[in-house]
Amino acid sequence: MNALVFTCLLVPWLVAASARRFDQESQLIMGSVPGKDLSGYFIDHLKSRRARRALPLADEPDDSAVEAGGDTSDLPTCLLCVCLTGSVYCEEVSPDMTSVPSLPKETAYLYARFNKIKKIRAKDFSDIVTLKRIDLTGNLISEIEEGAFSKLTMLEELSLAENSLVKLPMLPTKLISFNANHNHLKTQGVKANAFKKMTNLVSLYLADNEMEAVPHIPDSVRTLHLQNNNITEVNINTFCKSNETYYLRPSLNEVRMDGNPVVLSKNPDSFTCMKVLPVGRYR
């Protein structure tokens, strides 16, 4: 009789303990993963869980690897990339990513650096009006369709550095930072007033291109990089205004023009409105 009572008490206890153990092992408990391993856990966890949740049961991807040289266009973005709340990280994607991926509607930050994206189409960002930052550094972009950024009224930071652009499309007027270093931009590909309406622009990077002239620089700009271009001339209207004697540019505190053919000392009046002289060739 005692053995029977003991068995009746033991079995429910074992079942409850097993259930508790299963529940603990199947959930992420805050603080249970060391800090150095947490990011790795989220990458694996989010890739598999979010991608599978987004698909109908019959279309769930299997665990086999994508064939080398395959196409990423048929794969869910959050299977190829790391999707966190409001941010999408698609860096050095394998197999090669050759176009801008479809983004979740709430995306605010896109990092798609060091891929093989060749073109930005007008429809790529047309539905993602929440974007605040786009970083496409280190791709193969040679063409951007006109209107590609026209609906991005909240965009503040845009990096197109290290691509193959020869001209710029119309850019969002609320940009704070724009980076097009290391492209093939020529003066005819950058309209003289391309940045004129950007009254919030603080940082403008156009270094290592093939420009022959300085475009209009908004008064709000603090950092301007134009080094390693083919600029041959500056005059009083490049940075200052010949018709305004007392015009000043107190915000502009860093101008790099080194690596250009222009000899800056030939036109000393060109910098009277500035509190710092450009870095560059003076003799």
pLDDT reported for residue 11: 39
CA–chain centroid gap for 163, Å, is 13
Radius of gyration of the chain from its Cα atoms, rounded to whole angstroms: 27
Q: What is the Cα–Cα distance from 257 to 114, expressed in whole angstroms?
A: 27
3-state helix, strand, coil in the chain (%, to 5): 25, 15, 65
Collect the ranges in the chain with pLDDT lower than 70: 1-75
Neighbours of 84 (CB within 10 A): 13
Give the model confidence (pLDDT) of 195-234 as tens digits: 999 999 999 999 999 999 999 999 999 999 999 999 999 9
Q: Give CA separation, 142 vs 92, 114, 230, in Å.
A: 18, 14, 20
Q: What's the predicted TM-score (pTM) here?
A: 0.74
pLDDT reported for residue 94: 87
Q: What is the Cα–Cα distance from 134 to 194, expressed in whole angstroms?
A: 19
Tell me which residue has tokens 């079942």.
Answer: 15
249 contacts 219 by C-beta, under 8 angstroms? yes
pLDDT reported for residue 267: 87
The DSSP string of 112-147 is --SS---EE-TTSSTT-TT--EEE-TTS---EE-TT
Residue 40 one-letter amino acid: G
